[in-house]
Amino acid sequence: KQEVTQIPAALSVPEGENLVLNCSFTDSAIYNLQWFRQDPGKGLTSLLLIQSSQREQTSGRLNASLDKSSGRSTLYIAASQPGDSATYLCAVHAGGTSYGKLTFGQGTILTVHP
């Protein structure tokens, strides 16, 4: 059974810092990996999707990497801003008998203070 773990559970940084959020998964047979952002009481906003054949994907100040063989992904946020404060969720699209199902990590709660 696929399990997704995110470290750290919470992170508090001053504005302007570069930071890294970590995601690990137990079964490397994935189609792709998706990073989301969730603001309190809101739905999820898709940030980046990395295909299993890709090593990284970039969008603005965000860069996500994927090492499928070791079961790891990182989300790098450059020059953090207070508006980046949210919960960041990692999810993997499974293969095999669980084709297309998303398995989520518990999330990292990020606080960027001015």
Partner 1 sequence: DGGITQSPKYLFRKEGQNVTLSCEQNLNHDAMYWYRQDPGQGLRLIYYSQIVNDFQKGDIAEGYSVSREKKESFPLTVTSAQKNPTAFYLCASSIGPPDEQYFGPGTRLTVT
Nearer of residues 25 and 36 to partner 1, judged by Cβ? 36
Q: Are 23 and 85 in contact (CB under 8 A)?
A: no
Output the smallest distance, CB 46 to partner 1, in A: 6
Calpha distance 79→98 (Å, rounded): 37
Output the smallest distance, CB 15 to partner 1, in A: 28
Residue 114: name the closest of 80, 88, 76 by CA. Answer: 80
Give the three-class secondary structure for 95: coil
Output the smallest distance, CB 32 to partner 1, in A: 6
- Interacting residue ranges for partner 1, rule: CB under 8 A: 31-32, 34, 36, 41-46, 49, 89, 91, 93, 99-102, 104-107
